[in-house]
A and B are shown apart, each in its own frame.
Chain A
Amino acid sequence: MSTSKVEQAGGAGYLWVDDRVPASKYLKKQLGKVFPDHWSFMLGEIALYSFIILLLSGTFLSLWFKPSMIEVVYDGSYLPLNGVKMSEAYASTLDISFDIRGGLLMRQIHHWGALFFVAAISVHLLRVFFTGAFRKPRETNWIIGVTLLTLALLEGFAGYSLPDDLLSGTGLRIAQGIMLSLPVVGSYVSFFVFGGEFPGTDFIPRLYTVHVLLVPGIILALITVHLMLVWFQKHTQFPGPGRTQRNVVGYPLFPVYAAKAGGFFFVVFGVTALMGGLFQINPIWLYGPYIPDQITAGSQPDWYIGWLDGALRLMPNIEIVFFGQWNLMLNVLVPAVIVPGIIFTAMALYPFIEQWATGDKTHHHLLDRPRNAPTRTAIGAMSLSFYVLLWIQGGNDLIANTFKINIFVITWTLRIAIFVVPPLVFVITKRICFGLQRRDRDKLLHGYESGIIKRLPNGKYYEQHQPISPEERAVLLARAEAPLPLPMPEKYDANGIKQKGYGVKKLQSRLSHFFYNEQVPMPTAAEIEEGNHHESELTAERNYEIDDARTKALAPHE
């Protein structure tokens, strides 16, 4: 009886609320919202959950961390630093590590969490890129994403710099070097940021505000917008049976998706905590306090800044001196400012570049399989190889020492590779994509290779093909025929007058050819019919000959 009373009371309370804030209808609709399912759609979630973990563990740390450059003499329980003079920031980080219960675990969770955060964003970005999820109408969310990535890098670097240990200071010193390399304004920027000479006493407190307030605040706001856009624009889905541009096939948000997502949060939390408990990360007590004239072998940034460090290590030492007194530090400016600037700008603008080049202005809610957008996939793979090469160079000294290779050999190999490998990767990826497309086409026409070898009456062997499943068929059929490249514009109109905007149009057509110059045609419905019905043992051989000729005709360059 009493439960029913409670129930009644609850029901009444709900009605009371619903009467004033009419949420019932809204909730019913929203909770029933359908989400498609694919493991790669969880990558963004890993980023989201890592961010929550970072907020929680970071708050714990902020209770004890002292962002101050005041010099103190350490007398905590880590004996090998006893009596050493250091900044309060460093000393308080030692305290968190050795004298505050659970402090070291929290520090390690926070740091592993940060590595997870950026890694998850990066992989999420790759998923969005390679599947074409950034296409109209999701360009805004792509730009928000790139901004989030940039902010995540900044946030991570700020965090890495806070404890004022030897690696922190070394990283900041490099950052200051980059500021100084800016032409004309360099030294002013550095003085402004550091509040005087490097390292000074102002910077750590400033950085602290940036790290715990400014950047997380902006990230939080942007994530909110990001997710709202996913909500309203609906999630994309991979092609499959019954999946179209106009529907979303999947599970309702409540309870299925919510339970999954909730469970996954605990998995992410669990793995991060496990890493924090099992693996040492950033042992600042071994690095020692930052002293500007010290450095250690193997000074490296966290993995996500590694490619920038690699770019710096890759660049030859070129410096131009004007009139004997003004230096243009190309050795720093190019790898640390110009190249990253170009990369991030290109990344942010990519959806628009592709749209313009292909002239494709339609909405896309079905994802591309990477093979079905060969040029895009090749661009992505090429960029990835560029990134990885810089990354490798970022660890050149460790590679040299571990594998006993001359460090100059590594650097010079990579200097050449950075120009040779990405174009090669581009070409190879494109070929692989077309190869896969042809295989898909064959599957549609003749089914898959069953592995059963049959012998024809005339003594010849052939492999029996079997029809593919309806699911696979739906996936394969979903590849949209790529449009024809935009035609080259006429330079002069009928009256012999030069067309307005001719140059721009020409460029657009060039780019369009770059994207679409080569295609594997989709089989027509009639062809598929034929392929299926005539696949009898006796005609198998003939079909092969025809198919062979057809494939050759379609791909004249091969």
Chain B
Amino acid sequence: MTYLLARRRSPWATAFLLLLALVGIGGIYALASGSTQAEATAPSASTTQIDEGRKLFLEGCSTCHGLNADGAFQLDGTIAGPTLIGVGSASVDFQVSTGRMPLAAPGAQVERKDPSYSDEETAALAAYIGSLAPGPEIPMPDLYDTTGITPEELALGGQLFRANCAQCHNFAGEGGALTDGKYAPSLTETEPRHIYEAMLIGPQNMPNFPDSTLRPEDKRAIIGYIEALRETPNSGGIDTGRLGPVTEGIVLWTLGLGALIAVAIWIGVKAK
């Protein structure tokens, strides 16, 4: 996170964004010209990057996702990794740069961890998978840049957040439990790009919200609201974790009643 933030202004970032733009254009072209043409057109965007990505993929991902990224089975017949054809560069960027992929250990949920790949490598991987078939693409920065967001947009973002996200991620994005050890993670530190991508692709147990359900401007409003949740100071004092009445109850029984009973005992002792 801080690692990425620190690198935001490096000269590589410009190059990276340029590459993204190229891949994006390639993707749009691929979409426009029909999926059969995708393989023919996309590579022209940046053949070297795609080759690089393919190499990285063969080294780090193919054991689970297959040599052609079309999925692979384990010896016992269960799926080692699903096919990645058509998941799009956004999915790869999200999974790899939030450290979820390469998968460390199978568990109830694919955990977020420190990324194993540099930004360039991630971009290469994304470009490679993106070149296989059209799919959701890494969003342009202006889609998730929320500077200058208006109060109306913020209010819209809040409404959409409560309607679409709060049931899993909690009203303040603090996260919440799902069934069988799965959980919706806290959104308090997630980067805007990853929030956008998460909505776009719906990683693992999260539903996806394609542009037909949440328009790009809706997504931006939601991101704006999540950021506002982080930045606005708490009205009314120290919050109790923004987890609702349970933690309030804990504060009451420990701090509050604790203090009163201590005073009652003190008065009682004084009497003697």
Residues of A in contact, count (CB < 8 Å): 72
- Shortest B267–chain A CB gap in Å is 6
B193 on the interface (CB 8 Å rule)?
no
The reply to whether A280 and B234 contact each other, CB–CB distance below 8 Å, is yes
Given A108-B237, A112-B252, A84-B158 contact (CB < 8 Å):
yes
A119 on the interface (CB 8 Å rule)?
yes
A60 to B212, CA, bound (A): 48
Of the 9-residue stretches A288-296, A424-432, A437-445, which lies at the interface with chain B?
A: A288-296
- Tell me which of B172, B247, B267, B268 contacts A286 (CB under 8 A): B172
A306 on the interface (CB 8 Å rule)?
yes
The reply to whether B260 and A46 contact each other, CB–CB distance below 8 Å, is yes
| Chain A contacts for B256, CB-based, 8 A | 112, 115-116, 119, 271-272, 275
B29 on the interface (CB 8 Å rule)?
no
Of the 9-residue stretches A6-14, A22-30, A75-83, A336-344, which lies at the interface with chain B?
A: A75-83
| Chain B contacts for A40, CB-based, 8 A | 264
Given A84-B155, A112-B252, A298-B176, A407-B181 contact (CB < 8 Å):
yes
A400 to B170, CA, bound (A): 14
- Shortest B106–chain A CB gap in Å is 15
B251 on the interface (CB 8 Å rule)?
yes
The reply to whether A297 and B176 contact each other, CB–CB distance below 8 Å, is yes
The reply to whether A306 and B268 contact each other, CB–CB distance below 8 Å, is no
Of the 9-residue stretches A139-147, A260-268, A477-485, A500-508, which lies at the interface with chain B?
A: A260-268
- Shortest A397–chain B CB gap in Å is 4
| Chain A contacts for B225, CB-based, 8 A | 80
The reply to whether B236 and A300 contact each other, CB–CB distance below 8 Å, is no
- Shortest A263–chain B CB gap in Å is 8
A537 on the interface (CB 8 Å rule)?
no
B224-272 interface (Cβ within 8 A of A): 225, 228-229, 232, 234-240, 242-249, 251-253, 255-257, 259-261, 263-265, 267-269, 271
Given A271-B259, A300-B245, A281-B176 contact (CB < 8 Å):
no
Residues of B in contact, count (CB < 8 Å): 62
The reply to whether A296 and B263 contact each other, CB–CB distance below 8 Å, is no
The reply to whether B155 and A81 contact each other, CB–CB distance below 8 Å, is yes
| Chain A contacts for B10, CB-based, 8 A | none
| Chain B contacts for A42, CB-based, 8 A | 264, 267-268
The reply to whether A264 and B263 contact each other, CB–CB distance below 8 Å, is yes
The reply to whether B152 and A82 contact each other, CB–CB distance below 8 Å, is yes
The reply to whether B267 and A285 contact each other, CB–CB distance below 8 Å, is no
- Shortest A248–chain B CB gap in Å is 15
| Binary per-residue interface labels of chain B (183-202) against chain A in the complex, 1 for a CB within 8 Å, 0 otherwise | 11000000000000000000
| Binary per-residue interface labels of chain A (384-427) against chain B in the complex, 1 for a CB within 8 Å, 0 otherwise | 00000000001111101100111111000000000000000000
- Shortest B63–chain A CB gap in Å is 27
The reply to whether A283 and B177 contact each other, CB–CB distance below 8 Å, is no
| Chain A contacts for B267, CB-based, 8 A | 39, 42, 260, 263-264
- Shortest A405–chain B CB gap in Å is 8
Given A46-B264, A119-B257, A294-B252 contact (CB < 8 Å):
no
The reply to whether B171 and A406 contact each other, CB–CB distance below 8 Å, is no
Closest to A410 in B: B177
- Tell me which of A80, A105, A123, A301 contacts B245 (CB under 8 A): A301
A215 to B170, CA, bound (A): 33
A260 to B159, CA, bound (A): 51
The reply to whether B163 and A294 contact each other, CB–CB distance below 8 Å, is yes
| Chain A contacts for B243, CB-based, 8 A | 298, 398
The reply to whether B260 and A281 contact each other, CB–CB distance below 8 Å, is no
Closest to A295 in B: B167
The reply to whether A120 and B257 contact each other, CB–CB distance below 8 Å, is yes
A294 to B169, CA, bound (A): 13
- Tell me which of B171, B252, B265 contacts A303 (CB under 8 A): B252
A34 on the interface (CB 8 Å rule)?
no
| Chain B contacts for A116, CB-based, 8 A | 252, 256-257, 260
22 A-B contacts, Cβ less than 8 Å apart? A37-B271, A39-B269, A40-B264, A80-B225, A83-B152, A83-B155, A97-B235, A116-B257, A119-B256, A267-B263, A282-B248, A283-B234, A283-B239, A286-B172, A286-B229, A288-B171, A296-B162, A296-B167, A297-B177, A396-B177, A401-B175, A401-B183
Could you tell me which A residues sit within 8 Å of B by CB distance? 37-40, 42-43, 46, 79-84, 97-98, 104-105, 108, 112, 115-116, 119-120, 123, 166-167, 251, 260, 263-264, 267-268, 271-272, 275, 277-283, 285-288, 291, 293-303, 306, 394-398, 400-401, 404-409
Could you tell me which B residues sit within 8 Å of A by CB distance? 108, 151-152, 154-155, 157-159, 162-163, 166-172, 174-181, 183-184, 225, 228-229, 232, 234-240, 242-249, 251-253, 255-257, 259-261, 263-265, 267-269, 271
